[in-house]
Structure 1
């Protein structure tokens, strides 16, 4: 029996096509790590994308490709699923809540520092996130991640900057010296294409800006591990994670 899953992201309402294409490509990569699975991708912003994917993948596991649990995962997405007649589906925790995300972010940052010729122990890691005045979920998740990264001790300091709440990214990015910025976004959409670079320019930040964490090459494996571990009636958890074993915690000897 083919197991099915649907990766759902917010997308970009102003220009939905590129994010939808990127999410479909991600779904294809994840499917390659899970033999026997059918994986689809849909953004909430792309017209009819969610409804068409649900029709093609009845009974699918729902994987929210969001950086935090909040209004979109708890209200908007369930509402859209119900409106499409897709009830009783199992929705996994959001991408940003995966316990393995800390290691993934650390690995991405260390790789970025190495590529830029920076020494992590003398470099500040700046985390750029969305934030929001209406809900504390994004900020809380980001600050918790920053605390875990600081505990690891890979970088000289960890700073956080938000687009829609204090501390604003343009303020957090000022006067850092040796630094690099890692955007905590799932997809490269409007915020990452325009708002993050603009905030960094406003701050005079000329250090490296890394790709969004959702674009990291190890992200498909993290998603595959989460999907493969689900145990529901009629489903078996993935017995062998050999194809996605790269998500084990990395050695800190790479500092």
Structure 2
């Protein structure tokens, strides 16, 4: 029996096709690490995409490509998974290997810039939420783990939808790196983040959304194999 999985993200209600295509591309990269598997992508914002993918596959694992547990994973996606009799895994943002991935990426940026962590600040920029603590909690957990592994001069976390806001936390950091704790290149990454960093006059390296990290497909594939 062919093993299968569906990567599910929120997507973008204002531009569902772009994010649907991006997630399908990620799914293809994950499948390349899983011979004999069938892996697809679907976003909640693309009407009927998840249901169509489920119907086309044989009891797929549901892999939430979200940065934290929250409303969409628990209130929207989980009931759909349960109704179809499918296993829903923990979201991408709580993968244990993600910390290793982030550490390696930050070390690479430091080396490329010729910087030392002791002279550099780390800004963690994330979604946040006005109604749920899970997004901020997940971000702070990653911030704490990275602080233990890399001796940054200081680390700060800032959010788009709750205080402390990115534009405030990004001010007066001097030599600094911004780690964007976002899954997709959707509205927050394409519009809100550039505006916030510009407002703060932040000029350091800004890491891309997680979907564009080259290590991510293998990380997801390893997680699916363990499920």
Alpha-carbon distance between aligned partners in 1 of 2:4 and 2:210, rounded to the nearest angstrom: 24
* Matched residue SS, 1:132: coil
TM-score, length-normalised on structure 1? Answer: 0.85
Deviation at 1:179, TM superposition (A): 0.4
Determine if contact 2:122/2:179 at 8 Å carries over to the other structure. Answer: yes
Deviation at 1:204, TM superposition (A): 1.0
* Matched residue SS, 1:177: coil
Partner of 2:140: 143
Alpha-carbon distance between aligned partners in 1 of 2:149 and 2:100, rounded to the nearest angstrom: 10
Residue-pair matches, total: 227
Deviation per CA, 1:223-248: give whole Å up to 9, x if none: 01110001xxxxxxxxxxxxxxxxxx
Partner of 2:55: 55
Do residues 7 (structure 1) and 19 (structure 2) align? no
User: Where does 1:225-236 land on structure 2 (aligned, <5 Å)?
Assistant: 225-230=222-227
Partner of 2:196: 199
Do residues 214 (structure 1) and 225 (structure 2) align? no
Deviation per CA, 1:88-139: give whole Å up to 9, x if none: 2111100001111111111222222333343333111111100001100000
* Matched residue SS, 1:182: strand
Determine if contact 2:62/2:81 at 8 Å carries over to the other structure. Answer: no
TM-score, length-normalised on structure 2? Answer: 0.96
Determine if contact 1:27/1:41 at 8 Å carries over to the other structure. Answer: yes
Deviation at 1:154, TM superposition (A): 4.2
CA RMSD, Structure 1 to Structure 2 (Å): 1.3
User: Where does 1:59-78 land on structure 2 (aligned, <5 Å)?
Assistant: 59-78=59-78
User: Where does 1:54-133 land on structure 2 (aligned, <5 Å)?
Assistant: 54-81=54-81, 86-133=83-130
* Matched residue SS, 2:179: strand
Do residues 46 (structure 1) and 46 (structure 2) align? yes
Residues 98, 201 of structure 1: CA spacing in aligned structure 2 closer, same or farther, 3 A cutoff? Answer: same
Alpha-carbon distance between aligned partners in 2 of 1:42 and 1:118, rounded to the nearest angstrom: 39
* Matched residue SS, 1:19: helix
Partner of 1:170: 167
Partner of 2:20: 20
Do residues 158 (structure 1) and 160 (structure 2) align? no
Alpha-carbon distance between aligned partners in 2 of 1:117 and 1:20, rounded to the nearest angstrom: 37
* Matched residue SS, 2:124: strand
User: Where does 1:237-252 land on structure 2 (aligned, <5 Å)?
Assistant: none
Residues 213, 118 of structure 1: CA spacing in aligned structure 2 closer, same or farther, 3 A cutoff? Answer: farther
Alpha-carbon distance between aligned partners in 2 of 1:73 and 1:153, rounded to the nearest angstrom: 31
